């Protein structure tokens, strides 16, 4: 009986020692298996629009969607949990400002995306320093107004 109890104590200790790192490895294995099976736990899956790809910093998918005919000025849905807790409707350039993705911003402009007047104020609102350097003007910003306008977009 004594031996049985001692054996169990060793096992509990061994399990406690192994549990955190082995648990993370198992969780990652489950995520990998689920993805191979076509699911996407813990992520939103493939970007559904050019703006969503840009806020995910997935420029390759954004470029592919544009190559396949997506409009560089079209407002697209950024799902809740991707950039913020709520869903956002934004143009690709606005998405580049939200993510402060300067290279994506430059490439969208090069591909003919239209700079709207609110971009500089939006960059100020979200603290997008890298993108802000690429946008001239917009000196008369009401703090927070551009971001509020974007978030309230119907």
Partner 1 sequence: MSVGAPLAVAEAPTAMPRRWTWIAQAYGLLVSAVLAYFLLGLVIQVSDSFGNLLAVQASSMGELLRGQLSQQAYLRPLLWAQIKLVYEWSGGDYYAWFRGVHVAQVVVLIALCVRLMRPATATDAALVPLGLAVLVGAHTFVPLLREAHPINSYLSIAIACVAAANLSFQAAPRRLTDALALALFAGAVLTVESGVLVWVVCTAAYVLGARGLSRSAIVRMTWCLAAYLAVRMLVLDVGTPSLAERASGFGFRQLEPAELQARFEGRAWMFYLYNVVSSVATVLFAEPKGGVWRFVYELLTRNVHPWTLVSVLSSTAAAALVASFVWTRRGRVRTWTFDADDRIVGVFAAVLAANAVVSFPYTKNVIMSPAGVFFSLAVFAAARHRIARPGRPIVTVALFAILTCGWAYRVAGNHYNLRYTAAAERAVWVGVDDWLDRQRITLGSPEAQTLRDTLRADALRVHPTPYQPGSAWMRWFDIDW
Site residues for partner 1 per CB under 8 A: 3, 6-7, 9-11, 13-29, 32, 35-36, 40, 42-47, 55-64, 81-84, 103-104, 107
Residue 84 beta carbon to partner 1: minimum distance, rounded to whole angstroms: 7
* Beta carbon nearer to partner 1, 14 or 148: 14
Residue 118 beta carbon to partner 1: minimum distance, rounded to whole angstroms: 22
* Beta carbon nearer to partner 1, 42 or 74: 42
**Pick from 71, 50, 57: nearest CA to 113:** 71
Residue 117 beta carbon to partner 1: minimum distance, rounded to whole angstroms: 27
The CA distance from 25 to 30, in Å, is 9
Contact predicate 83/101, CB 8 Å: no
* Beta carbon nearer to partner 1, 18 or 142: 18
Residue 65 beta carbon to partner 1: minimum distance, rounded to whole angstroms: 11
* Beta carbon nearer to partner 1, 28 or 74: 28
SS (H, E, C) 83-100: CCCCCEEECHHHHHHHCC
Q: Sort 114 into a burial class: Cβ within 10 Å, 0-12 / 13-18 / 19+.
A: exposed
């Amino acid at each position: 009986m004594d031996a049985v109890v001692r054996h169990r104590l060793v096992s509990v200790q061994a399990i406690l020692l192994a549990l955190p790192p082995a648990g993370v490895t198992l969780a990652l294995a489950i995520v990998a298996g689920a993805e191979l099976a076509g699911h996407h736990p813990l992520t939103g899956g493939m970007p559904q629009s050019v703006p969503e790809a840009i806020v995910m910093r997935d420029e390759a998918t954004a470029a592919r969607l544009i190559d396949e005919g997506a409009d560089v000025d079209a407002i697209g849905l950024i799902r809740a949990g991707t950039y913020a807790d709520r869903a956002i409707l934004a143009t690709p350039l606005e998405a580049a400002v939200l993510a402060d993705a300067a290279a994506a911003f430059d490439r969208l402009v090069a591909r003919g995306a239209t700079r709207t007047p609110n971009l500089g104020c939006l960059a100020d609102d979200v603290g997008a320093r890298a993108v802000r350097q690429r946008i001239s003007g917009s000196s008369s910003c009401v703090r927070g107004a551009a971001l509020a306008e974007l978030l309230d977009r119907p």
